[in-house]
């Protein structure tokens, strides 16, 4: 296998998806700046162009709201042919944005860029630090219940149609959303995307928040969908630890961030589903576990939780499939190997799980996961996601985050590897 050639291809994908100061996840399907995709892009750029990596994060924060929230999409240019675009979100601000957030991994990726650029990076890090703190503060003020991070729309999780949300979505009425034309299925086979009935509910939730004037108090008291997302809690805990590290480096106050970490660690305990023996999401409206074992449950190690209880599930799944940890347990009756977050394997998730394993001392597990992801991408290409059964590529092609994790983690030449 010619890995130099594959490295080159990965860099080319980032460059092709680069719109100057931000990177699209892939052209066509996702033509704007997505929040956590951009953080991955910054990480990827840090392996060969740190200046461009900083620009990526700085551009993302031009979309930050006055209350600190960083939206899941920033529409830097007119959105023709994308649904739901700025007219649906209906926000009076420039650049236009969506009205919900996404996994807050920017602090983690900013730290990675800073590590790659210790000297000149300091000024960039100083500029970003306050913005990161205010985003984290927004989460702590509005989205923490029992120490868990609560999402108010499945899209906030980054795992749009995961099985985790099925029961909670039963409370959402999608029958009155009106006529609309979704665009994703113009680009990708509909059998690999969320179903129409799910999409109706996603839109109903957008309309609810919009009509509530995006008032977090109203969303909390009347919102039909509120779930403590195990993935968000782990990623946010990790990001707070990285923010703390940055604060120490920059000589900033640390008490507030330390307080957040304490609260989130309590939340981690609330996510433990004793009956099923794994970390799980919680419908905070009913107090019920969602009873689904997804790739997000395995982010415990990435969050710095030294907990071996998840290893039994981990080993079972790695024996069942060959390409890493799929978005849902392959033994679950709802598992679907090609439908987006209901079964496919995502390279970027493998990278986070693998790094977490390595950091908590599970180096053999970590190395196996890295090798399998390496083989998957080297043999099948830089796709959005893959079937965990046979590695068949699916979704969008020339995908930014798949290229980014190749350069930073999966490639044999990746520096970030352990
Ligand atoms: C989908 C994914 C989400 C991602 C976006 C752009 O909505 O579920 O995680 O950020 O596409 O790639």
Residue 187 — very low, low, confident or very high, per pLDDT cuts 50/70/90? confident
Q: 250-281 pLDDT, tens per residue?
A: 999 999 999 999 999 999 999 999 999 999 99
* Catalytic residue list contains 384: yes
% of the chain exceeding 90 in pLDDT: 92
pLDDT at 215: 98
At 128-177, the pLDDT tens digits run 999 999 999 999 999 999 999 999 999 999 999 999 999 999 999 999 99
Question: Residue 257's domain spans which residues?
Answer: 3-410
Q: Is residue 415 part of a domain?
A: no
- The candidate with the shortest Cα–Cα distance to 60, out of 49, 51, 72, 43, is 72
CA 216 – CA 370 distance, rounded (Å) = 40
Residue 69 lies in a domain: yes
Q: Label the pairing between strands 282-283 and 278-279.
A: unpaired
Quick one: pLDDT band at residue 415, thresholds 50, 70, 90? confident
Residue of 160, 164, 184, 242 with catalytic role: 160
In this structure, the residue with its CA closest to atom 2 of ligand 1 is: 158
222 catalytic residue (yes or no): no
Number of domains in the chain: 1
- 418 found inside a domain: no
State in Å: Cα 304 to ligand 1 middle.
25
Nearest-atom number in ligand 1 for the CA of 102 is: 10
pLDDT tens-digit series, residues 37-53: 999 999 999 999 999 99
C-beta atoms surrounding 4 within 10 Å: 11
pLDDT at 79: 63
416 inside domain: no
Alpha-carbon gap, residue 62 to 74, rounded angstroms: 8
- CATH no. for residue 57? 1.50.10.10
Report the pLDDT value the prediction gives residue 416, as an integer from 0 to 100.
64
Q: Whose CA is nearest to atom 4 of ligand 1?
A: 158
In the prediction, which pLDDT does 112 show? 97
pLDDT of residue 77: 86
**Pocket residues for ligand 1 (CB within 6 Å)?**
25, 30, 34, 36-37, 158, 160
pLDDT digits (tens, 9 = 90+) for 219-253: 999 999 999 999 999 999 999 999 999 999 999 99
Tell whether 417 is covered by a domain: no
Average pLDDT, integer, range 384-396: 96
pLDDT over 80 (residue 81):
no
> How far does the centroid of ligand 1 lie from the alpha carbon of residue 254, in Å?
32
Average pLDDT value for residue range 169-196:
90
Q: Choosing from 7, 198, 229, 384, which is the catalytic residue?
A: 384
The predicted pLDDT at position 200 comes to: 96
* Mutation pick for ligand 1 pocket among 25, 60, 109 (CB with most ligand atoms within 8 Å): 25
∠ CA(318), CA(319), CA(320), 5° rounding?
A: 90
Residue 190 lies in a domain: yes
CA-based end-to-end distance of the chain: 21
153 domain residue, yes or no: yes
Angle subtended at Cα 280 by Cα 291 and Cα 329, rounded to the nearest 5 degrees: 65
Higher pLDDT, 333 or 82: 333
Q: Is residue 84 reached through a cis peptide bond, with omega within 30 degrees of 0 on the bond before it?
A: yes
| Atom from ligand 1 closest to the CA of residue 37 | 10
Q: Assess contact for 353 and 298: CB atoms under 8 A.
A: yes
**For residue 418, is pLDDT > 50?**
no
Three-class DSSP labels, the chain: CCHHHHHHHHHHHHHHHECCCCECCECCCECCEEHHHHHHHHHHHCCCCHHHHHHHHHHHHHHCCCCCCCECEEECCCCCCCCCCHHHHCCCCCCEECCCECCCCHHHHHHHHHHHCCCCHHHHHHHHHHHHHHHHHHHHHHCEECCEEEECCHHHHCCCCCHHHHHHHCCCCCCCCCCCCCCHHHHCCHHHCCCHHHHHHHHHHHHHHHHCCCCHHHHHHHCCCCEECHHHHHHHHHHHHHHHHHHHHCCCCCHHHHHHHHHHHHHHHHCEECCCCEECCEECCCCEECCCCEHHHHHCCCCCCCCHHHHHHHHHHHHHCCCCCECECCCCCCCCCCCCCCCCECHHHHHHHHHHHHHCCCHHHHHHHHHHHHHHHHHHCCCCEECCCCCCEECCCCCHHHHHHHHHHHCCCCCCCC
């Amino acid at each position: 296998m010619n890995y130099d050639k594959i490295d080159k291809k990965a860099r080319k994908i980032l460059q092709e998806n680069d719109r100057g100061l931000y990177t699209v996840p892939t052209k066509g399907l996702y033509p704007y700046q997505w929040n956590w995709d951009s953080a991955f892009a910054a990480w990827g750029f840090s392996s060969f162009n740190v200046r461009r990596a900083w620009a990526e994060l700085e551009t993302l924060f031009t979309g930050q709201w006055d209350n600190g929230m960083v939206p899941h999409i920033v529409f830097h240019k007119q959105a023709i042919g994308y649904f739901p675009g700025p007219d649906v979100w209906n926000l009076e601000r420039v650049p236009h944005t969506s009205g919900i957030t996404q996994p807050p991994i920017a602090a983690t990726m900013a730290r990675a860029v800073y590590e790659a650029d210790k000297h000149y990076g300091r000024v960039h890090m100083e500029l970003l630090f306050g913005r990161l703190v205010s985003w984290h503060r927004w989460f702590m003020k509005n989205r923490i219940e029992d120490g868990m991070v609560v999402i108010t729309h499945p899209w906030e999780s980054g795992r749009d149609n995961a099985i985790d949300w099925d029961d909670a979505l039963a409370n959402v009425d999608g029958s009155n959303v009106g006529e609309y034309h979704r665009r994703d299925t113009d680009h990708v086979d509909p059998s690999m995307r969320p179903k129409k009935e799910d999409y109706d509910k996603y839109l109903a939730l957008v309309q609810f928040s919009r009509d509530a004037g995006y008032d977090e108090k109203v969303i909390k008291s009347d919102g039909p969908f509120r779930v403590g997302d195990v993935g968000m809690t782990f990623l946010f805990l990790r990001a707070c630890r990285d923010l703390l590290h940055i604060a120490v480096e920059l000589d900033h106050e640390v008490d507030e961030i330390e307080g957040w970490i304490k609260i989130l660690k309590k939340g981690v305990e609330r996510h433990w589903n004793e009956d099923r023996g794994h970390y799980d999401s919680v419908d905070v409206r009913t107090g019920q576990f969602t009873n689904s074992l997804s790739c997000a449950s395995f982010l415990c190690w990435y969050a710095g939780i030294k907990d071996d209880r998840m290893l039994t599930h981990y080993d079972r799944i790695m024996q069942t499939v060959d390409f890493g940890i799929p978005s849902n347990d392959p033994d679950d009756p709802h598992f679907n190997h090609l439908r987006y977050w209901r079964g496919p394997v995502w390279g970027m998730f493998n990278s986070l799980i693998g790094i977490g394993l390595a950091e908590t001392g599970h180096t053999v597990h970590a190395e196996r996961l890295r090798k399998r992801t390496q083989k998957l991408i080297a043999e099948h290409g830089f796709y959005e996601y893959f079937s965990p059964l046979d590695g068949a590529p699916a979704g969008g092609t020339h995908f930014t985050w798949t290229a980014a994790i190749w350069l930073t983690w999966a490639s044999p030449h990746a520096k970030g590897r352990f």
